[in-house]
Chain A
Amino acid sequence: MTSETLVPFEDVLAAYDPALGLEVHVELNTATKMFCGCPAVFGGEPNTQVCPTCLGLPGAMPVVNGKAVESAIRIGLALNCDIAEWCRFARKNYFYPDMPKNFQTSQYDEPIAFNGYMDVTLPDEGGDGETFRVEIERAHMEEDTGKSTHVGGSTGRIHGADYSLVDYNRAGIPLIEIVTRPILGAGEKAPAVARAYVSQLRDLIVALGVSEARMDQGNLRADVNLSLSPKGSGTLGTRTETKNVNSFRSVERAVRFEMQRHAAILDAGQAIFQETRHWHEDTGITTAGRPKSDADDYRYFPEPDLVPVAPSREWVEELRGTLPENPVLRRARLQESWGYTDLEMRDVVAAGVMGEIEQTVAAGASPQAARKWWLSELSRRANDAGVEITDLGVTPAQVAAVQALVDAGTVNDKLARQVFDGLLAGEGTPEEIVEKRGLAVVSDEGALSAAVDKAIAENPDVADKIRDGKVAAAGALIGAVMKEMRGQADAGRVRELVLEKLT
C-alpha cells in the first residue's frame, strides 16, 4: 500500500472545482437471470445455477427476461427518464474469466432509459435540507459476471502459477446500470452530494421493490468518477473511476479522498492518469487499478442473437401508474401524520421500519405504540437473531393485535413481550398465546386487593411513608404486588388500590 500525498480539503476547494460522476449497478430481484431461466437467487452451491446460455456454451441462445425489462422501465420512469421507443442490446467484448462468453451482453448507444434527473436532499445543518439536482444520463440493462476466487501461487496447480476458481451462479443476473451526467458546481458539498444521491437512489430502488438493494451484499454497487479542474476554468479534468464502493459512508469518503489526492498531483504539476482505482474500506484510501480502456477497445456491436426491445407507449404508461410515492415526499408525509420528532423519524428510517409502522398504524395501532414495538422490541430481537427485521416473522397486523390487547387492558407491556416470544415461537395468534401461556393480567379485584394488603403488611415502613404523603414511595409497593402477581397485574390499577388504602 503506497502512501499518498494529500492536500487539505479546504485547500482543494480554494484551487479547484470538482466534477463528480456516479455509476450505480443495481442487481434486480427477478426470479431468473437476464437471458436464461436459471435462478437468480443469492447463495446457492457453486455452479448449480448455470446452463448452456449463462456458461456461454456454443449454440446456446439467450432470451430476454420480460420482468427485467419491466423493472428497468420502472427504474427509468422513477428517475424521470425518457423511455426508448426502440433499443437494442450490444456485446461488450473483453476477455476475463468471470464472463464465460468473452463478452458481456449490455446496452451501448441505445439505453432503455435516458435524460432523467433525481433531486437529492442534502442532510441539513440546522436549516432546511438543501436540494441538489443530479442529472441522469442513462439507465441501461446488462448482466452480472461470475465470481472469481483467487488462489495463491504456492499451492497453484496450473503451471505452478496463481490461478482463480470461478463460480458462474451470478453470471447473467440482471443488472441495471444507472449513470449520472457530470455533476458540476457541488464544490465543498461534492462528497455529501455523492452520498445523498446513492442513499436516495437506494431508497427509490427499495420503494420500487425491484432489488434487495443491499450494498453489503453487492446488490447495489457504486463506482465513483472524479476529476478536478482549475477553479473557474469551466473545463473538465482527467478523471479516475473508483470501483465498488460498498457503503454510503464510503462513497462520501472516496470522493473526498480522490479530491485530495488529485489536488496533490495537480499541485505538483503532474497529470492525472486515467485509470480505475480500488477502494480500501479499512484504510479509507484508493489504490491504482488498471488503465481505463477506451470504449473502442470493447468493440461494442449490436447483439445479433436478441431482437430489439420496443416498449409500447401503453405499456410504459401502465408501468408509470405502478410507481410508488417519491420516498422523500412519503417520509415527510408520514412524519407529519404520525407526529414524530425529526429524531424519532430518523431512528425509524435508520431501522428500516417505516413501512412496517405504516402498516401497523393502518391495522389500528397508534403511531407511538407502533414505533415503540418496532423500534425497541422487534429491532432488538432482529439484531439479536442476526436477521433483517422484515425477516423476523412478526407481521404489522400481529403487532397491531398485540397493542390492541394492551389497549384493552388484557396484557401490559411486560406481558406483551412474552406474547412476542410466543409469536416468534409460532404458537398462534396473539389471543391464542395469551390464552395458552396464561398471560392475561389479573382483573380479579379480590385477588389484587389481597395482594396489596399483603404488600402493605410486609412493608410497614413504606406504607407509613405513603400515609405521610410521600406518594412517590408507592412504587416499592407496586413492585411488590407485581412480583406477587408474577407480572400479571395492571400496574395502574395496583397503584390506585395502594393509594386508596393508604391515603
Chain B
Amino acid sequence: MPEISRDEVAHLATLARIDLSDAELDHLAPQLSVILESVASISEVAGPDVPPTSHPMPLTNVFREDVVQPSLTAEQALAMAPQAEEQRFAVPRILGDEQ
C-alpha cells in the first residue's frame, strides 16, 4: 500500500519550491496518500503480462532532420517575460543551487 509521510511531502514541497505551512502539510499529506492509493489501484488491474509503458502509441525512432527552422525573434521570445533586460529574461537569483 503506497503511503506518503508528512516528512516526504515537506521534502517534495522544498524541491518544488512551494512554501507550505505546518497546517497545510497536516492537511495535504493524508490527501496525497489517498490519491496515491487510487492511482495504485491501476497496478492491480495490470497483470504481469502487461508491461509498464510511458507512451500510448507503439512507435519508436521518430526523428527530425537536422535542418534549421526559423526561431522566434528576441522580441517575440521576451514578449511574455514579466521582466527583461539587455535582451535577456530577468529572473530572481537563486543562490547556491546551480546545477
Contact = CB atoms under 8 A, between A and B. Distances in A.
Interface of A: 30-32, 36-39, 45-52, 55, 57, 63-69, 86, 88, 93-99, 104, 145, 149-151, 157-159, 161-168, 289-290, 297, 299, 301-304, 306-311
Given A37-B69, A158-B92, A289-B98, A64 B63 contact: yes
Nearest to A311: B61
20 contacts: A31-B66, A32-B68, A37-B64, A37-B68, A37-B70, A47-B88, A67-B65, A68-B66, A157-B83, A161-B92, A163-B92, A164-B91, A165-B86, A165-B89, A165-B90, A167-B89, A301-B54, A302-B54, A307-B61, A308-B60
A67 B63 CA distance: 9
Contacts of A94: 15, 99
Nearest to A169: B71
Given A98-B99, A99-B99, A290-B98, A163 B91 contact: yes
Interface of B is mostly: loop
A104 B89 CA distance: 19
A465 to B, nearest CB: 71
Interface stretch (B19-27, B30-38, B42-50, B72-80): B72-80
Contacts of B63: 63-66, 69
A23 B2 CA distance: 35
Contacts of B17: 95
Contact of A162 (B61, B70, B93): B93
Contacts of A150: 93
A372 B78 CA distance: 53
A45 B73 CA distance: 10
Given A64-B62, A88-B54, A96 B93 contact: no
Contacts of B69: 32, 36-38, 51
Given A166-B88, A309-B61, 6 more contacts: A32-B66, A55-B72, A150-B93, A164-B91, A168-B89, A307-B59
A48 B85 CA distance: 14
B55 A307 contact: yes
A302 B52 CA distance: 11
Contacts of A304: 54-55
Contacts of A308: 55, 60-61
A96 B94 contact: yes
How many B residues are at the interface, by size bracket? Answer: 35 or more
Nearest to B16: A95
Interface of A is mostly: loop
Q: Find the residue from B59, B60, B62, B71 having the highest chain A CB count within 10 A.
A: B71
A233 to B, nearest CB: 33
B60 A310 contact: yes
Contacts of B71: 38-39, 48-51
Contacts of A306: 55, 62
Contacts of B54: 88, 301-304
B90 to A, nearest CB: 6
Contacts of B83: 157-158
Contact of B93 (A145, A164, A167, A301): A164
B67 interface: yes
The 5 A-B residue pairs with the shortest CB-CB distance, nearest first, are: A37-B69, A66-B63, A302-B54, A67-B66, A165-B88
Contact of B87 (A45, A65, A104): A45
Contacts of A67: 65-66
B7 interface: no
Contacts of A98: 99
Contacts of B1: none
Nearest to A88: B54
Contacts of B62: 63-64, 306-307
A122 to B, nearest CB: 32
B15 A297 contact: yes
Contacts of A301: 54
Nearest to A34: B64
Nearest to A36: B69
Contacts of B15: 93-95, 297, 299
Contacts of A159: 92
A302 B55 CA distance: 9
Nearest to A278: B98
Contacts of A299: 15
Contacts of B88: 46-47, 149, 165-167
B40 to A, nearest CB: 16
Q: Find the residue from A47, A93, A94 having the highest chain B CB count within 10 A.
A: A47
B14 to A, nearest CB: 9
A66 B72 contact: no
Nearest to A312: B61
Contacts of A36: 69
Contacts of A55: 72, 77
Nearest to A57: B80
Contacts of B65: 66-67
A93 to B, nearest CB: 8
A164 B69 CA distance: 29
A47 B77 contact: yes
B99 A66 contact: no
Contacts of B74: 45-48
